[in-house]
Amino acid sequence: MKKFIVLILLLLPALACSQTPKSSPSTDSTKGNTPEKFFANPVDGESQLDSLIRTAQNDLAKFWQSYSKPSKVASYSRSEAELGNVRTPCGTLTPNNAIFCPEERSVYYDRDFLNDLSRYYGDYAPVTVIAHEWGHLIQWQKYGQGNAERDTIEKEQEADCLAGAYTNYADQVSQLLEVGDYEEAAKTMYKLGDNLDWFDSQAHGSPELRVAAFTRGAFNGAESCWGYTAANSFPSSAPNNIDPSPTPKVNRINPTPTKSVLLDYSSYRCNTQPSTPFYAGLDVEVITDVNLPLRLRAKPDMDNLSSVYITSYHQGTKMRIIDGPACSDNVVWWLVKVEDGKKGWIAEGDGSEYFIEPVN
């Protein structure tokens, strides 16, 4: 249990570092028996983790060769962090964490934490984390200062996707992966998922969404990652009149994971709902009864926690669908941007009546 609390706090966004509890995770898991190619060339005095990260960095630099490398990739110990001794331009680092610091284009990681991940999930787990942080570096280069304006969840999902894209490269091109590495990455992503509200400043996505993002990158390449969030990728809910995969798959390559990391999308289906007539990009208007305003929520479910409600809107309010659909509680949900600028999730209807209709 303690272990899980620690893990969900990994990868706090660089500008939103917060205190995390101390930890001393159990070390009952065992390492795989297979000699790992990532450890192939340890140099004198180098730890296994150092060798792994060094090899991963060299390979990540090849994969992202059209972008600049991080200015540095620095490790610290958990105890240094616990003492508050690790200071960066992005603030004092917390233990059990890895961050990308945009101010100096650097990555910092808690080596004790990555060693724990390696023990729990296998040697590819730390590489997954470094590849994710490297993904943040690429985002800052690609989007420039505009990256600061993007929602955390969008950046995090995209970074997971980019970590997946790199993993495919490490497998197919560099041939560094061993049996089980895809599964180790998927397990790591799953364990690092959180249950924060969609727009929470530290939200990285649920376990399922993180695995979905990673899997997308692994199967479809980095070009499929830009602007991606898992919520816009539920194929079973695509409207009938829209091609569910209209975007050409760039860099499509065929990884051969040793065990499937594919998600079972059936859990996202709204089986008893009619197929939705809405889609991302559509402008819609609230048509609920005047006494029943439509609730805007921070995440796509019927949770009654007051924190989930952002606000509500009356009949006639206009909004644009920007992402989705998602399904939970047998309801089809859409992420919308309202005319007042607020963003959140709305239910499209209750199964018998729609709450919105397209604006003509």
- List of residues contacting Zn ion (CB under 5 A): 11, 156, 159
Judged by CB, which is closer to Zn ion: 109, or 355?
109
Judged by CB, which is closer to Zn ion: 111, or 297?
111
Q: Which residues have C-beta within 8 Å of that of residue 311, sequence separation ≥ 6?
A: 295, 296, 342
3-class SS of residue 128: helix
Q: Are 22 and 82 in contact (CB under 8 A)?
A: yes
Q: Are 96 and 113 in contact (CB under 8 A)?
A: yes
- Residues 61 and 300: their CA atoms lie apart, in Å, by 37
- Residues 152 and 120: their CA atoms lie apart, in Å, by 27
In the complex, the smallest distance separating the C-beta of residue 13 from Zn ion, rounded to whole angstroms, is: 6
Q: Which of 58, 188, 21, 42 is nearest to 119 (CA)?
A: 188
- Residues 223 and 220: their CA atoms lie apart, in Å, by 8
In the complex, the smallest distance separating the C-beta of residue 75 from Zn ion, rounded to whole angstroms, is: 17
Judged by CB, which is closer to Zn ion: 10, or 81?
10
Residue 300, beta-bridge partner list:
none
- Residues 320 and 258: their CA atoms lie apart, in Å, by 41
Judged by CB, which is closer to Zn ion: 11, or 73?
11
Q: Are 131 and 96 in contact (CB under 8 A)?
A: no
In the complex, the smallest distance separating the C-beta of residue 88 from Zn ion, rounded to whole angstroms, is: 15
Q: Which of 89, 122, 121 is nearest to 107 (CA)?
A: 89
In the complex, the smallest distance separating the C-beta of residue 77 from Zn ion, rounded to whole angstroms, is: 21
Judged by CB, which is closer to Zn ion: 111, or 136?
136
Judged by CB, which is closer to Zn ion: 159, or 161?
159
In the complex, the smallest distance separating the C-beta of residue 309 from Zn ion, rounded to whole angstroms, is: 27
In the complex, the smallest distance separating the C-beta of residue 98 from Zn ion, rounded to whole angstroms, is: 8
Cβ-proximal residue to Zn ion, closest one: 11
